[in-house]
Structures are given as C-alpha cells and as structure tokens.
Structure 1
Amino acid sequence: MKPVVTVGDCIIDEVRIEGEEPRRLPGGAALNLAVGVAKFGLASILITRVGQDREGALLLRYARERGVKIVRTPTVDPTGVAVSTRKHGEPAYSFNPAMYRRRILFDAAAVQAMEEAAVIAVNSFPFDNGAEASNLGRTLQRVRGVRVVDPNPRPLLIPDIAAYRRGVESILSTAEIVKVSDEDIRILFDSGWEDVATHLFSLGVGTILVSHGAGGARVIDRSGMSVAVPVADVAGDILDTMGAGDAMLATVISGIVERGFPRAERQWEASLVDAMKVAAATCRNPGAELILG
C-alpha cells in the first residue's frame, strides 16, 4: 500500500494551563496529522523541518516511535515552538522567532516521497511566502496521488493574511480536497461557508470538507452533493479541542487509502461519521494526538 505524505509543521507545543506547570509536547498540525495517519496502520511520511537541537531530537524520536518517517528540509534555525495558553480547553497561541521563518525545501528526497504517495496532504504551510507557495504548487502538479490542502491559518503567525490567502488560492487548482474550519473561513475570507465554497470551486477545487466544530462536519463537491453529520455522542468530558480537526482529516485520508475516494453520498456520510467518532475521542484526552477510541 502506498504511503501518505504530509507536508508542514513539526514543532514543540508548550502548553500552559492555569494552575498547572507548563508542559512541552511534540506538536504542529502536520505532525499531528502524520501521527494520526500512522495510527490507522498506514505508512506515514512527514516532510518538514526541525532544528539541530534538543527539541528537534525530541520530535524526531517521537515521530519514529509512532511510525512516522521524517524527510527533513535543511535549516539553520532552531526548532519552532508554539506556546498555547489554555482556558476552558481552547488554545490561544504565541510563537518563537523560528516559527516566523518557516521554509520547506522540496529536494529530491521530498519530491520522490510525494511522487510515490497515495495521498499528499499539506497542513499548516507558510502560504504567505509567495516563493514557498509557488514551489509547493509546482511540486503538487508533478504528483499523481490525491492532493489534500488544509490552509490552517494562525493569525498571530501570519503578518499578511491577504498574502496568505493568495498563496492558498494559488495552489487550489491542484487539490482534490480542501479542508477548512469555520474559523479558517472567517480568518481567510470573512464570509459564510456557502459563498466560500462557490469561490473555491471556481478556483478548481473538487471537494470541500468543512469542520463546524460543535456543529459537526459536512462535505460538498462541484456536482452539488452535500452531506452533513453531527458531532459524535461520546461519553466523557471534552478536555482539549486542539487536535480535533487533524484527527478528522486523518480519518478521512485513511478511508481514501483503504477504500478509495468516496463518490456517493452514502460513502461520504460513512467517512464523516467515522471521522466525528475519532475527533470526539481525541477531544476527550489531553493533547492533540489522535485517539482511535
């Protein structure tokens, strides 16, 4: 079975919760997604960058222990660190300077991994850098696997939201699936999901996966198909929503690899129901790592 390749951030999450000692944990949306894919028993590769420091060594060991192969891009920067301060389970972010200089080089090893993949997922990429977005777009045009894009904007990390939006839009003609949350839509487009869907379809996107948080999820495609499901009814208190979107996307991707690309409404409904169950289980555990339940 061909691997899933994820492209994006692999960082340290420093978690600060009121009344508790700070914790440093492996994180980054792309790492979360790659680990989630591996938990489904699939070959998982992450194209990313980490510094040659203690934090980088921690991340490499964490990925290796969870079955994720890392393809590293060269960097002289230290490992990125995102500080999340949690209140009521919801994170607010700040970042170390290395996070503002994110770069991913698509060298021969990275391109080969992408060319051999069943699915290529881009999650939390520096789209506001025009050169980076162009390099990514050219590389995605070369591959044959299913291409998935999750813009995953973080406003505190993006000095120019308009540039970020342009970078995202510049590669969407290569994407079979775009995954967005209600928050992503608000940040990037300041509009409702229906209007944004029409806009994304005009750019060449085939299928849009929308996370509505507590409102569940839906999928819509260019043919007019629309399937919505509620959140899963799972016992236990919600402890952390940080990894819910990545867990949902990992579940959808695993289904594509194992059963093929969903075409009928009933296939998408089954995929979303599974994704909501995994996301709900993940939210009932601390941290962002996917929980199969």
Structure 2
Amino acid sequence: MASTSRARISVVGDALIDELRDPSGAREFVGGAALNVAVGLALLGDDATLIAMVGDDEPAERIHAFLDDYGVRLVASPSQHGTSRAVSIRTDGEPRYEFNEAAQHRQLRFDDDTRAALADADLVVVSCYPFDDDEQVDLLLDAIEGSEHRLIVDGNPRSGMLHDRDRFLANFERVAARSLLVKVGDEDADLLLGAPLDEFVARLGGGGSTDAAGPAVLATAGRHGASLHHRGIEVHADIVQLDGPVVDTMGAGDATLAAVVHRIAADGVPADAEAWSRALGEAMEIAAATVRHEGALLRTGVASPQIGS
C-alpha cells in the first residue's frame, strides 16, 4: 500500500457537538470519535472522507465548516432528530458523557454516495458505530468488499448510546474478525466484558496466535500506554512524557488510531516487531501532544501539523 500519492481513507461513524463542562464553565467543540480520526488523518497528510449522520441545523453547519477547514470531505446521512450532541463532564481531565436523542439513535444511510466513498477508499476506518443494530452492521459489511485487506475498526462503545451490550459485542467481534486491524481500550473491555483488557485482546485473536488470517489488535490502556498484538508479535509502548500538563484526554485514543492508520496507509502493515514498535512509538508521541490541549484535535508537537509519510 506504500505510495507517493495521498492515501484515500474513508472513516465511518459519528460527528457531533462536544459540550465540555467543568468548574470553569462550558465550551463547545466539533467532535465525535470518527470525525476526530478523519481530521487527524487529514492533518497527517492523508485524503480523508468522513461518513456520518448530521441534522439540518446550525450545529451541522458548524460541522461542515470545521471539516472544510481541514480538507475532510463529508458524506452525510440525514438525521430526523437533528445533529448529535455529547455533554462531557470533566473530572481531573477525564470525560463522562451524556448524549442527546440524535446520538442515541444514530444511523447511516448506505446510498450511492456512501457506497462509492467506501468502494474508492484504500482503507476504511470504522469508529463509534452502532454495532448493536444488526441491520446497520449487515449494511456496512455488505458495502465493504475485501474488508480483511482494508477495514480497521474501533468499537468505541459509550454507555449512553449502548442499547444492547451483548448484541454490540457479538457484532463488533463479527466485524473485527473480518478486519485488518482492530482497536480496543481498557474501558471498552470493562464496559463490554466486565473483564481486563488482556482478556478482550485474547478474544479478538491477539493472544499470541500466529494465525495469518487474524487481525492485528491495537490495545490502549490510558496512562499505561498501548500494545500491539499481531501474528505472534507483541510490542508495548509507554506514554510519552512531554513538557506541560495533561489538559484533556478526550482525543488520545482517536489520535493513537489515526497515527497507526496513517503509518499503515503509508508503508503497509508492519511485518515485524521493530516496525510495529516504530509505528506505536510515533502514535504515542502524537497522543501525548494531543492531550496537552483542550479538545480532541490531533497535535504532533511540532510547528506544522503535517508530518507526511
């Protein structure tokens, strides 16, 4: 997949207004896990398209304008409940979410434009998708041919949007089994399994198997860093210490995923532990820069946001 041209990456999932509340007051940001990843990929130099649901309202206009600013194309599905909103209540930088009706009933329309955006992409990234909706999952898989060679999935479950935990888990594992790479976090493992992260990693095929058909598993554990499990390879990277305090951890996981996806798009899937270590180390540096700013916009810690391939 390595190429001198910009990789075409379609990101499927959520776009919303993030309202941050803390003792200092309330602020609003354009956000959503999938949107964060799409914008992050654009900042890293990729040709990014976001496939998401938005309403016909002022918040949707803000989302369109924000994506235009970063050169991300939006393929929008209509929403009968307006644009999604998440209220993030912060305690020591960690968010707790409350979601409006639109976010709780998110749904994508797989029309010609959506299917074309998926068909034309070198990689398809799915994040914060309604995996507890069987029809939405079936439509997604039907629209992505050759998924095991170009699909990357991050379940990103949120308790405020979760209607059926068992169904979400079953469908997430079904999609993960057909993917190139799957990302899971320690909070995902707790919410979906009530179990430690390493147990979830093992369920997804990252427990040391050398099976060439299984996905790579990117496991994130907050302050304990991240690890990568792929065909018997296991590498770990600690969080990176940078100058300045940690301000907001909201975008850490999305920045980590965007950095790893960017590296796969540029160089192909790493073939050995050394290459995976480099990719994971770069992702940890980007995540560390991101959390030192409010909001979830990916940061690289350098003067220019572009780091290229």
TM-score (norm 1): 0.95
- Number of aligned residues: 291
Correspondence for 2:273 among 265, 271, 283: 265
Matched, 1:18 2:27: no
1:208 — aligned with what? 217
1:136-168 CA-to-partner distances (Å, cap 9, x unmatched) read 122234558521000000012212211211221
Matched, 1:147 2:182: no
Greater shift in the superposed pair: 201-210 or 66-75: 201-210
Q: Going by fraction, where is helix more abundant, 1 or 2?
A: 1
Which whole-Å CA distance do the structure 1 matches of 2:81 and 2:110 have between them? 17
2:10 — aligned with what? 5
Correspondence for 1:121 among 119, 122, 125: 125
1:35-62 CA-to-partner distances (Å, cap 9, x unmatched) read 0000011100000111010000000000
Q: State the secondary structure of the residue aligned to 1:44.
A: strand
Indicate if the aligned counterparts of 2:286 and 2:299 stay in contact, CA closer than 8 A.
Answer: yes
Structure 2 gap segments, 5+ residues each:
302-309
Which whole-Å CA distance do the structure 1 matches of 2:148 and 2:246 have between them? 39
Cα shift at 1:104: 0.7
1:106 — aligned with what? 110
Distance 1:144 1:198, change over 3 A: closer
What is the identity percentage for the equivalent residue pairs of Structure 1 and Structure 2?
34
1:253 — aligned with what? 261
Q: Any residues of structure 2 matched to 1:1-293 within 5 Å, and which?
A: 1=5, 2-20=7-25, 22-141=26-145, 146-201=150-205, 205-221=214-230, 223-293=231-301
* Letter in structure 1 aligned against 2:177: S
Indicate if the aligned counterparts of 1:115 and 1:142 stay in contact, CA closer than 8 A.
Answer: no
Which whole-Å CA distance do the structure 2 matches of 1:217 and 1:141 have between them? 30
TM-score (norm 2): 0.90
Cα shift at 1:198: 2.6
Which whole-Å CA distance do the structure 1 matches of 2:247 and 2:128 have between them? 23
Which whole-Å CA distance do the structure 1 matches of 2:247 and 2:198 have between them? 31
Q: Which runs of 4+ in 1 moved over 4 A?
A: 142-145
Distance 1:214 1:73, change over 3 A: same
Which whole-Å CA distance do the structure 1 matches of 2:295 and 2:147 have between them? 33
Distance 1:112 1:8, change over 3 A: same
Which whole-Å CA distance do the structure 2 matches of 1:47 and 1:71 have between them? 5
Which whole-Å CA distance do the structure 2 matches of 1:144 and 1:220 have between them? 16
Cα shift at 1:185: 1.2
Q: State the secondary structure of the residue aligned to 1:191.
A: coil
* Letter in structure 2 aligned against 1:177: L
1:95-154 CA-to-partner distances (Å, cap 9, x unmatched) read 111111100112111111112212110000011111111111222345585210000000
